[in-house]
Chains A and B, each alone.
Chain A
Amino acid sequence: MKRGSVQMRRDTRFSYLVSAPMFLYIGIVLMIPICWGVYISFTDKMIGGQEQWIGFKNYIALLQDSTFRRSVLNTVIYTVFSILGKLVFGMIMALVLNFSFRGRNVARALMIIPWTLPNIVAVLNWRWIFSDTGGVANYILQQLHLIDHNLVWLGDATLAMLAVLVANIWRGSPFFGISILARLQTIPKDYYEAAEIDGASTLQKFFSITLPSIADVTLLTALVSTIWTINEFESVWLLTGGGPSGATEVIGVFSYRTAMTNMQLGKGVAVSLLAMPVLLVLIALVSRKMLKEED
């Protein structure tokens, strides 16, 4: 017992010693700027200007600003549909890759490619596909007789949101797919065999064996993805710039416009910080789920 605690004290000293460089870096370059950012949000700091303490004025102004409230609503819509889409397509991908067929490994590698591309490349490509002059999306939909004239995808409020969602879901689904697939492959085959002997249908097998087994990993993946989707900036910025007339302006874009275009840094940070309570709840949920397996 005594020996154990001596060992532990030694391990503690060693652990802190070798961890120090990384935490020093994170402390200086991450934690101090976060605290500085919180302070800035209570000031009227402009780019290149001196700041003055103005209390909660930024926050109050934001809550009263209808453009901000609209961006919150847009963010909620965007996040919900994006996560749902990635969930559905990721699930399909995982189920399909769980079939046994020749060339499965190649198919798996190919299906993950969208996720390996730099996001900016994927987004610009979708902007071109949805372009109203020369864009291939209109052409394909017309060939399939789904539409009878060219749509102005990025110029219409609903269509623009749809376009941003398609781009985001296309790139994000493989991450869901791979995470779910990994879990699927650990489900013992005899579960299904036993169910077959009992005369279970394919749907029954899916709902009583497959779904319960993958529920946990799916939820975790969805939570992690939600954290990043709520704060999405570049997909929207590069595809629509938040337009047409604010229809796709999510809070990430609103914050960027406030801080960088209008140069109101203090207010820009306040935008991100207003989303923090939601983020902290999500982060706490994820931590609890992930760290439970740790110990």
Chain B
Amino acid sequence: MSMKQRRQLVHIFRLVMVAICLVVALFPIYWMLNTSFKTQFEMYQKVPTMLPQEPTLDGYKFLITETPFLNAIKNSFLVAITCSTLSVLLAYPVSYVVARLKFYGRKTVSRLILFSYLIPTSVLYIPLFLFVSSCGLTDNILGLILIYPTFTLPYVSWMLIPHVRAVPKDIEEAATVDGCTRLQNMYRIVFPLALPGIVSTFIFAFSLCWGEYLYALVNISSSEMKTFPLVISGLIYGDIYPWNQIMAGAILACIPILLVYIFFSNLLVGGMTEGGVKA
């Protein structure tokens, strides 16, 4: 075998590997789409059909007209947008000072952020359930808005530190010479320059709230307050599950996230590695 043939063979092998990875990653998503356009009858046929034989929007129609799905999407959106905005507003100054200033207790502050970021929700759901009920906000999306920042705030502040640090220091020093105060430096100079990182962090915080299940499950019971994870998982009851409706709901709930993701893809992949786990 010549060197050239060997190269070609290696290249083909690599492409096959890429293809396998793509199939593994995407087949379940294709299956979700496929199911959502099937009738209940076709879905449970003995031999699963790789494409819907009689494509139908029944699943979507039922979901939208007969379940509180749309209202749930609205609730999820309200909760997610409020919590992620609030988190960026409150956390940015903290990230800024940790990244930029030398002050007493800086280490303790960053340790505190990391600790609250790593504490898992399953440790907190009972205390937070009691907290929400003592605020009189049980079964109210305001209760969720109150407690979701317990995971988005530490997350956002931790992720923003490297983004702030990536802004060149000289720019700030020049601004200081020109008479900018710390507060002006923070908001007028560094904030716009760190904006790509801030946007990507905001999107991640949004999607954390968007799909949150445990806190919603514990705190919400009435149908007009439900967020979408509760509505879709609530369709699983009885003997025959309406998977076409469930998958229709899953697809509709993914679309906003996927659109944003495709739109900002490069930004997000960068943001994910810069902030999350860096070495």
Question: CB distance B17 to A125 under 8 Å?
Answer: no
Knowing that A18-B93, A265-B129 touch, tell me 6 more A-B residue pairs with CB under 8 angstroms. A14-B97, A33-B128, A116-B258, A272-B126, A291-B107, A293-B279
Question: CB distance B123 to A21 under 8 Å?
Answer: no
Distance, CA A116 to CA B253, complexed state (A): 12
**How many A-B contacts are there with CB distance less than 8 Å?**
270
Residue of B nearest to A219 (CB): B279
Distance, CA A81 to CA B124, complexed state (A): 25
Does A53 make an interface contact (CB < 8 A)?
no
Distance, CA A109 to CA B257, complexed state (A): 13
Question: CB distance B102 to A29 under 8 Å?
Answer: no
Q: Mark A243-285, 1 if CB is under 8 A from B, else 0.
A: 0000000001001100110000100110011011001001100
18 interchain pairs (CB within 8 A)?
A15-B97, A19-B93, A19-B109, A26-B150, A26-B153, A34-B124, A93-B21, A96-B14, A96-B21, A113-B258, A116-B257, A117-B257, A118-B207, A125-B28, A216-B279, A255-B122, A265-B130, A290-B114
Question: CB distance B269 to A112 under 8 Å?
Answer: yes
Does A30 make an interface contact (CB < 8 A)?
yes
Q: Mark B245-279, 1 if CB is under 8 A from A, else 0.
A: 01100100110011001100110010011001111
Distance, CA A2 to CA B107, complexed state (A): 22
Contact size class for B? 35 or more
**A137-163 interface (Cβ within 8 A of B):** 139
Point out the residue from B26, B112, B123 that lies within 8 Å of A272, measured CB to CB: B123
Contacts of A109 in B (CB 8 A): 262, 265, 269
Distance, CA A107 to CA B22, complexed state (A): 7
Distance, CA A282 to CA B117, complexed state (A): 13
Does A209 make an interface contact (CB < 8 A)?
no
Contacts of B236 in A (CB 8 A): 124, 127, 238
Question: CB distance B147 to A29 under 8 Å?
Answer: yes
In the assembled complex, how far is the CB of residue A42 from the closest CB belonging to chain B, in whole angstroms?
13
Distance, CA A230 to CA B121, complexed state (A): 11
Contacts of A15 in B (CB 8 A): 97, 101, 103, 106, 109
Question: CB distance A227 to B118 under 8 Å?
Answer: yes
In the assembled complex, how far is the CB of residue B190 from the closest CB belonging to chain A, in whole angstroms?
13
Residue of A nearest to B123 (CB): A272
Does B238 make an interface contact (CB < 8 A)?
no
Which of the candidate stretches B52-60, B167-175, B193-201, B208-216 sits at the interface with the other chain? Answer: B208-216
Distance, CA A231 to CA B123, complexed state (A): 8
Does A193 make an interface contact (CB < 8 A)?
no
Contacts of A293 in B (CB 8 A): 278-279
Contacts of B218 in A (CB 8 A): 260
By the criterion of a CB under 8 Å from any partner CB, how many residues of chain A are at the interface? 99
Distance, CA A40 to CA B131, complexed state (A): 12
Does A11 make an interface contact (CB < 8 A)?
yes
Distance, CA A113 to CA B110, complexed state (A): 31
Contacts of A135 in B (CB 8 A): 48
Residue of B nearest to A126 (CB): B28
Does B82 make an interface contact (CB < 8 A)?
no
Question: CB distance A29 to B253 under 8 Å?
Answer: no
Question: CB distance B130 to A125 under 8 Å?
Answer: no
Contacts of B147 in A (CB 8 A): 29
Question: CB distance B18 to A107 under 8 Å?
Answer: yes
Does A287 make an interface contact (CB < 8 A)?
yes
Question: CB distance A114 to B110 under 8 Å?
Answer: no
Does A85 make an interface contact (CB < 8 A)?
no
Does A77 make an interface contact (CB < 8 A)?
no
Distance, CA A26 to CA B47, complexed state (A): 53
Distance, CA A16 to CA B232, complexed state (A): 43
Contacts of B15 in A (CB 8 A): 101
Question: CB distance B122 to A179 under 8 Å?
Answer: no
Distance, CA A108 to CA B266, complexed state (A): 10
Most buried by A among B131, B147, B258: B131
Distance, CA A259 to CA B119, complexed state (A): 19
In the assembled complex, how far is the CB of residue A62 from the closest CB belonging to chain B, in whole angstroms?
14
Question: CB distance B28 to A269 under 8 Å?
Answer: no
Residue of B nearest to A103 (CB): B18
In the assembled complex, how far is the CB of residue B119 from the closest CB belonging to chain A, in whole angstroms?
8
In the assembled complex, how far is the CB of residue A212 from the closest CB belonging to chain B, in whole angstroms?
12
Question: CB distance B120 to A279 under 8 Å?
Answer: yes
Does A121 make an interface contact (CB < 8 A)?
yes
Residue of B nearest to A21 (CB): B90
Distance, CA A109 to CA B149, complexed state (A): 28
Question: CB distance A238 to B123 under 8 Å?
Answer: no
Does A129 make an interface contact (CB < 8 A)?
yes
